[in-house]
Amino acid sequence: MNVRIVSDSSSNLLSVSDASYATVPLKIITQAREYVDNAALDVASMIRDLRTVKGRTQTSCPNAFEWQEAFGDAECVFAVTITSGLSGSYDAACKAREDALAAAPARRICVVDSLSTGPEMQLLIEHLRDGILAGRSFEELEASVKEYQRHTHLLFALESLTNLARNGRVSPVVARVAGLLGIRVVGVASEQGTLQTLCKPRGEHKMLEALYREMERGGYLGGKLRIAHCNNPTAAQAFADTVRERYASADIAIIPTTALCSYYAEEGGLMVGFEG
């Protein structure tokens, strides 16, 4: 069985080892140019441009055609999308599935609404990869990723919510406090796949404490932890160190955000996906 995993670029993963894998890019659009979230993009230079950008900026999700192209000719496809609560990516992937099945009804295509993004999508993708390597059937993979998803969570700690608020993904009232006097907004991907704020710690130390506390409340007991950061490797490492003090052998990986998450999490932002 030839199985391919496809995700939109909000997963921050441009490749996955030991898997047939493709990403479908989201785009960041400014008045001056368009940034396509793929391997050819220099994310650091986009982040620099965004510091001084003038005028309105926005993002756009992949369309059904782009999803279908990424499915390629794989017999079985798992498409993992950013939450349908904040983006049209999931709807586009579902349309791509319909079109692909209309052309080839024997194919098997499963679209997974992550109800989350970034490092929680990474966990789902790694879970699918491990299942494929273990030789599971399409039906087994589908059931097992849905079950696994009930035990994974996403937390975030952001220094600014400006781009989220300007693009209508969070209320301006919530966004206003972030960035003031070193205040961060710590929040969680809700069960409905929307952004829910939990607390507003001041300073990095309090932010790391809050993240750790919320992770334990989410049921973390030393399982997999994936940390994505926007130009903030120091805080990501500090958080990993905090977790290792308690769980010495935890499976932890740190990756930089690519364009979409860099744009919305903004500089300094951390995103944490974990098993609860």
Query: To the nearest whole angstrom, how small is the minimum distance from the Cβ of residue 37 to ligand X90?
Result: 10
Tokens of 116: 């989350």
The reply to whether 89 sits near ligand X90 by the rule CB under 6 A is: yes
What lies within 8 Å, CB to CB, of 254 at 6+ separation is: 227, 228, 229, 233, 236, 237, 240
User: Does the footprint of ligand X90 cover residue 156 (CB under 6 A)?
Assistant: yes
Least Å distance, CB 161 to ligand X90, is 8
DSSP code, position 161 = -
Q: 9-48: which residues touch ligand X90 (CB under 6 A)?
A: 26
Q: How far apart are CA 202 and CA 151, in angstroms?
A: 29
Determine, following the binding rule CB under 6 A, whether residue 195 of this chain makes contact with ligand X90: yes
Q: Is 117 in the site for ligand X90 (CB under 6 A)?
A: yes
Going by their DSSP bridges, the two strands 185-189 and 152-158 should be labelled as antiparallel
Please identify which residue in the block is written with the tokens 């049921």.
219
- As a whole number of angstroms, the distance between CA 122 and CA 228 comes to 10
Is 59 a residue that touches ligand X90 (CB under 6 A)? yes
Nearer to ligand X90 by Cβ, of 81 and 141: the residue is 81
Footprint on residues 129-148 left by ligand X90 (CB under 6 A): none
Which residues sit at the interface with ligand X90, rule CB under 6 A?
Answer: 26, 59-61, 82-83, 86-89, 116-117, 154, 156, 169, 189, 193-195, 261, 264-265, 271
